[in-house]
């Protein structure tokens, strides 16, 4: 699969997820076989105003390539300027978020709110394409609500504005992350446009990834929440597609080693105080399903240092092996 000439060799991509898919987690998923990665959302307006925190999200780590930087915004002028500013970070692809359903994004006219205003969305994509040296893609949802499902027509408009690919989450904005993703919408988008289509929503196993490929004819599947605490899903998808077999589940030792590695990456990127505060949630994902998981997850909520996590991992290995 290629996006505007950028080759994607893997069979599954990691979905962009604010406060979850940071650089540490993206690297872990890449090491486990994720074929394509996208940054957390970057505010186009914040970038234009030189916000320091916004700029920190723009770092491109060569280990993550092929890699996209994702912006959000409701004004074409800011999005176009932001696209130009991002070129100095040398992303492989520039993605525009038109699918985020959270109130602080959609409520300000960005994210999924743009699906209610095709003309404005068209202008944003056109401005970004004109200012970008790399392919521009768009991430969308099925529509705003059940009465306004317009992903196929919307995707076609983005294609005409110059988008090189479109990623489709099969839920509406009002669904948020509830209910079931409608894969038929992804299929309809695939039939409507000539550019690559990335399917997203409700993939938690390699079997479901293959099913999405078959049912939608999409060009790439994208996995979000199904990867929480299970970055091995990317390895499993690759294996299942290649030879119809899924590798053995990671041992407790491997699970804890990868959990620690993600925390170590985060500490190196963000510093121990911030990284370990965030690890209280991310590490708990790795402990789901093991014996006495509830007690160990509770312990995660008190993590202060990397040494605390190392001690917890040692205790789990000692108690559960």
29, 79, 100, 283: which one is catalytic? 100
**Residue pair 317/291 in contact by the 8 Å Cβ criterion:** no
C-alpha to C-alpha distance for 289 and 162, rounded to whole angstroms: 45
Q: Which residues contact 39 (CB under 8 A, 6 or more apart)?
A: 16, 57, 58, 67, 68, 69, 70, 91
Beta strands in the chain (DSSP E): 2-3, 6-7, 12-14, 37-43, 67-72, 93-98, 136-143, 165-172, 197-200, 220-223
100 is catalytic: yes
> Strand, coil or helix: what is 190?
helix
Q: Which residue has the tokens 């991002």?
A: 86
Say how far apart CA 73 and CA 106 lie, in whole Å.
10
Neighbouring C-alpha atoms within 13 Å toward the C-beta of 118: 15
Burial letters 101-139, b for 16+ CB under 10 A, else e: beeebbeeebbbbbbbebeebbbbbbbbbebbebbbbbb
- How far is Cα 57 from Cα 107, in angstroms, rounded to an integer? 22
| Catalytic residue positions, numbered | 100
């Amino acid at each position: 699969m290629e996006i505007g000439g950028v080759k994607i060799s893997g069979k599954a991509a990691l979905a962009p997820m604010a406060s979850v898919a940071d650089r540490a987690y993206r690297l872990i998923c890449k090491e486990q076989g994720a074929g394509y990665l996208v940054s957390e959302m970057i505010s186009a307006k914040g970038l234009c105003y030189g916000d320091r925190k916004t700029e920190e999200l723009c770092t491109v780590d060569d280990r993550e390539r092929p890699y996209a930087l994702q912006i959000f915004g409701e004004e074409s002028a800011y999005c176009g300027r932001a696209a130009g500013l991002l070129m100095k970070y040398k992303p492989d692809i520039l993605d525009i978020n038109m699918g985020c359903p959270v109130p602080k994004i959609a409520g300000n006219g960005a994210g999924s709110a743009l699906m209610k205003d095709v003309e404005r969305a068209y202008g944003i994509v056109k401005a970004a394409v004109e200012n970008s040296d790399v392919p521009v893609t768009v991430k969308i949802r099925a529509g705003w609500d059940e009465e306004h499902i317009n992903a196929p027509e919307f995707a076609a408009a983005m294609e005409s504005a110059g988008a090189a690919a479109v990623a489709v989450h099969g839920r509406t904005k009002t669904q948020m992350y509830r209910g079931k993703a409608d894969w038929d919408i992804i299929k309809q988008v695939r039939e409507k446009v000539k550019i690559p289509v990335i399917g997203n929503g409700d993939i938690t196993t390699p079997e479901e990834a293959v099913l999405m490929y078959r049912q939608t004819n999409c060009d790439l599947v994208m996995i979000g929440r199904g990867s929480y605490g299970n970055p091995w899903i990317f390895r499993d998808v690759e294996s299942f597609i290649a030879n119809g077999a899924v590798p053995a589940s990671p041992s407790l030792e491997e699970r804890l080693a990868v959990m620690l590695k993600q925390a170590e990456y985060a500490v190196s990127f963000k510093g121990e105080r911030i990284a370990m505060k965030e690890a209280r949630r991310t590490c708990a994902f790795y402990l789901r399903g093991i014996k006495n998981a509830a007690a160990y997850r509770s312990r995660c909520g008190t993590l202060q240092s990397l040494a605390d996590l190392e001690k917890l991992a040692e205790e789990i290995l000692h108690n559960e092996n």
